[in-house]
């Protein structure tokens, strides 16, 4: 089992930056690929970014590429999502998720992720 806890959400203005953190407990963290997903009110959950177990490979959605950066520190069992140039369309609950990975790449498919955090609210105002 892997437990994930997100933090760092909040209310910001358009154009501001915010950094989310995801801290894991349980099994060795460097065996897991980690992703961030988000869900806005009335919308389906969508992929945001993901990072491979080693941190060598990252993937982003079209809407976040170039504005968001995912990183990890396995020694701290932590994954981060640096969000820059935020806009109101980024308003959502952000979830950290993980799955056991044997490979070097990651997936955007939520069904692959076996472990999920409770979510962190990010609200971006005009």
CB neighbourhood size of 41 (10 A): 7
Picking from 86, 107, 104, the residue whose alpha carbon sits closest to that of residue 31 is 104
Report, as an integer, the average pLDDT of 77-90. Answer: 97
Looking at residue 87, what DSSP letter applies? -
Find the mean pLDDT for residues 97-122.
95
Tell me what pLDDT residue 29 has: 87
Nearest to 78 by CA among 1, 10, 6: 6
79 HSE (CA, 13 A, CB side): 30
Q: How confident is the model at residue 104 (pLDDT cuts 50, 70, 90)?
A: confident
């Amino acid at each position: 089992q892997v437990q994930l806890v997100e933090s760092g959400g909040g209310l910001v203005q358009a154009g501001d930056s915010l950094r989310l953190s995801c801290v894991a407990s349980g099994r060795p963290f460097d065996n897991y690929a980690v992703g961030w997903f988000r869900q806005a009110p009335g919308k389906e959950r969508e992929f945001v970014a993901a990072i491979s177990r080693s941190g060598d490979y990252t993937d982003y959605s079209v809407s976040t590429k170039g504005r968001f950066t995912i990183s990890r520190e396995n020694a701290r069992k932590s994954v981060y999502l640096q969000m820059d140039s935020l806009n109101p369309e980024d308003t959502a609950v952000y979830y950290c998720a993980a799955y056991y990975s044997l490979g070097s790449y990651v997936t955007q498919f939520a069904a692959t992720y076996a472990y999920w955090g409770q979510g962190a609210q990010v609200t971006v105002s005009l």
